[in-house]
Structure 1
Amino acid sequence: MATSTHRTEQRRQRGETRGRIVAAAEELLRTRRVRELSIEDVMEAAGLTRTAFYRHFDDLFDLVTRVAEPIFTDLLDLQRDTVAGATSIEARVRGGLEPLAISFAAHGPLMRAAHDATAYDDRAEAVVRTLVGRFTDLSARQIGVTDPSRRDAVRALVLMNVGYLLDCFGSGVSTTRADITRATDALTAVWLGAIDHLLGGEVPALR
């Protein structure tokens, strides 16, 4: 019983320490780019030692990637669920894009840090590339693009989402619901125009 209690307390403390590190990094990333940040900066802000960092993360890029990845994964699930009930192509597109805009508005600096990390870290690049591929596959299915030769066009649209939303929300400046709506409207217009070109105006069945 004593051993079990001790292990439970250890897990609690590890979770608390990890949470403090993540919170400190997110706060710092609201005013600094990832290349301007050091492990010492993060741990000083967290009130912990540098040694504690390496019990949870390999390096700064590992921290950023591992924190951002679940946000994107949750977005995939949300996009799938939101679009499932849509009856029109416009509703499908907007249903997929609005949660994306909301998430970038909430986590913009962290999204920007994950994107920036791809220029410095192979693991970060691999994670982001995989996530872009998953968003591309899901989006292609939802808008009815089945021709493999047209998948690259969908991928280009997904990458456009990332670049545009980082431009809108990556700085971490306070945003309003109107900002999110404006971004969603802009992306929806581009996607609908592209879909009209790709599918010739047809409204495919949701798959």
Structure 2
Amino acid sequence: MSDLIHSPRLRAEPQPTARIGKSERTRAAILDAAFRFLWSRPFREMTVNSLMATTDHSRSAFYQYFSDVHELMESLVAILEGEILEIADPWLYGAGDPVALLEETLGELVRVCYQRGPFLKAVSDAATADKRVEAAWSQFLGRFDDAVTARIDADQELGLIEPFEPRSLAIALNRLDAYTFIEAFGQRPRGRPEPVQQAVKRLWVSALYPPKLREKAPTTLARAHATDPEALAARLQQ
């Protein structure tokens, strides 16, 4: 069986959002209940009553942490954003062989989106009819557009990526990823992650690092590190 499916990072149900102190356990329980709710039901069916009925806490407990289900949804999107930014760190901000870093990052991205696929679908679907969810989803995508654009721009300065306007390609790659993950993992039965991982790796690597540039990447990076390693690191962190 697939290592991706049996990885400890992937479970059939959403996992606790973080290790937190005792005072925040109720909030974490509500967040996790919301992830479970959206695993099988659309956001339009979520009410405070229907959500809290799936927990051991009262309706009043909900309002100690969230003003409404929209604020809750915004918190869930922020959690997902944090998870993805953490696993995307190697390519977005790391220094080294860019193709190896990108492939590592995309492999981890598929793992997370396999786990969170139904939530991605719930947010994407809700964004078409709900203004606040639409804004949260748009901001979520926009921050990744910014990060990918910055990485492309930095690698263009190093001569690792051909010159072109980077943001349009960043948006195209991110939207293709989002659609692919939602289509493959957004409902039961979820698709197998291996073909998706192979597809996104092929797409990103071929779009950003064609073979003729890939061949000179180690030499170019070594020269950049030797010339000004601090400047290289700073450029990637911008």
- TM-score in same-fold range (> 0.5): yes
Q: Give the secondary-structure state (helix, strand or coil) at the position aligned to 1:45.
A: coil
8 Å contact kept, 1:21–1:53: yes
8 Å contact kept, 1:94–1:188: yes
- Matched with 2:186 is 170
Q: How far apart are the structure 2 equivalents of 1:88 and 1:21? A: 39
The unaligned stretches of length 5 or more in structure 2 are 1-20, 158-162, 222-231
The unaligned stretches of length 5 or more in structure 1 are 1-10
Q: How far apart are the structure 2 equivalents of 1:118 and 1:57? A: 20
Does residue 129 of structure 1 match 2:138?
A: yes
Correspondences of 1:128-147 after superposition (within 5 Å): 128-143=137-152, 144-145=155-156
**1:145–1:88 distance in 2 versus 1, CA, 3 Å:** closer
Does residue 202 of structure 1 match 2:213?
A: yes
Correspondences of 1:12-161 after superposition (within 5 Å): 12-13=22-23, 15-81=24-90, 84=94, 86-89=96-99, 91-143=100-152, 144-145=155-156, 149-161=165-177
Shift of 1:66: 0.4
Q: Give the secondary-structure state (helix, strand or coil) at the position aligned to 1:29.
A: helix
Q: Tell me the amino acid that sits aligned with residue 36 of structure 2.
A: E
Q: Tell me the amino acid that sits aligned with residue 208 of structure 2.
A: I
Q: Tell me the amino acid that sits aligned with residue 80 of structure 2.
A: I
**1:200–1:165 distance in 2 versus 1, CA, 3 Å:** same
Identity over the aligned pairs, expressed in percent?
23
Q: Give the secondary-structure state (helix, strand or coil) at the position aligned to 2:39.
A: coil
Note the aligned Cα RMSD (angstroms). Answer: 2.8
8 Å contact kept, 1:104–1:165: yes
TM-score (norm 1): 0.76
Shift of 1:165: 0.6
**1:40–1:96 distance in 2 versus 1, CA, 3 Å:** same
Q: How many residues align?
A: 190
**1:40–1:195 distance in 2 versus 1, CA, 3 Å:** same
8 Å contact kept, 1:65–1:114: no
8 Å contact kept, 2:91–2:98: no
Shift of 1:36: 2.7
TM-score (norm 2): 0.67
Q: Tell me the amino acid that sits aligned with residue 174 of structure 2.
A: V
Shift of 1:191: 1.7
Shift of 1:161: 0.6
8 Å contact kept, 1:61–1:117: no
Q: Tell me the amino acid that sits aligned with residue 43 of structure 1.
A: M
Q: Give the secondary-structure state (helix, strand or coil) at the position aligned to 1:97.
A: helix
**1:53–1:150 distance in 2 versus 1, CA, 3 Å:** same
Q: Tell me the amino acid that sits aligned with residue 168 of structure 2.
A: D
8 Å contact kept, 2:184–2:190: no
